[in-house]
Amino acid sequence: MTIDNKKGLINCIYAGGTQFSAQIEAILKAAKKDTHGIDITKTMPSDTLWHDMAKRLNTSLRTFINIPKIEGYNADANYSEESLVKILAKHPKAMIGTIVMEGETIMHITRYTELLNFFNVDSAGLEKTMHTQSPTTKRQTENESFV
C-alpha cells in the first residue's frame, strides 16, 4: 500500500470501530476537500510506511499504540520498532489517534477537532464584543493555513 501525498489530498490513517474513528469518518465524509481514509482494521499499511511515518513525526511507533490496552503485553517492555509494527498489525484497535497527511505535512492527532486544521477552518478571524456589536462571521484572513 502506498499513500498519495499530492498537495490538497488529505490522508487519514485510523483504526475503525471506535467513537473516535466515527467522528473522523464523519468529518472526512462532510469535507469539501479531496480526502482518503485508511481504516487499519481493514487495510494495514506496510511496515515500511509505518516506519516512514514515525520517522517523519520524529517519534517511536510506541506513541501510536495503547499497549496497556492489549492483554498479554507488558506496557513497560522495550519493544523494538519491528515488534511494534507486528503488535499494531495484530491489534489495530489499539491504535491511538489518527495520522493525518497532506503533501509534506504530517501530524499524529488524538482529538478529532485537530483534523479541522487541515480544512482551513477559520475561527481566528472571529471577533465579538459584549452586547455592543454583532459578531464578525466572515473570513478575516486570506489563504492562510493553520497547520
Report pLDDT for 1.
63
CA torsion, points 39, 40, 44, 47, in degrees to nearest 10?
A: 120
Secondary structure class of 100 (helix, strand, coil): strand
CATH of domain 9-119: 3.40.30.10
**Strand residue runs (E) in the chain:** 9-14, 34-39, 98-102, 105-109
| CA–CA gap between residue 141 and residue 138 (Å, rounded) | 9
Q: What are phi and psi of 93, to 5 degrees?
A: -75, -5
Domain locations in the chain as residue ranges: 9-119
Q: How far is CA 122 from the centre of its chain?
A: 19
Cβ neighbours for 124, distance < 8 A, ≥ 6 positions apart: 140, 141, 144, 146
For the record, the C-alpha cell of 128 comes out as: 465579538
Q: Is the pLDDT confidence value at 124 over 60?
A: no
pLDDT in tens, 64-123: 999 999 999 988 899 999 999 999 999 999 999 999 998 888 999 999 888 888 876 555
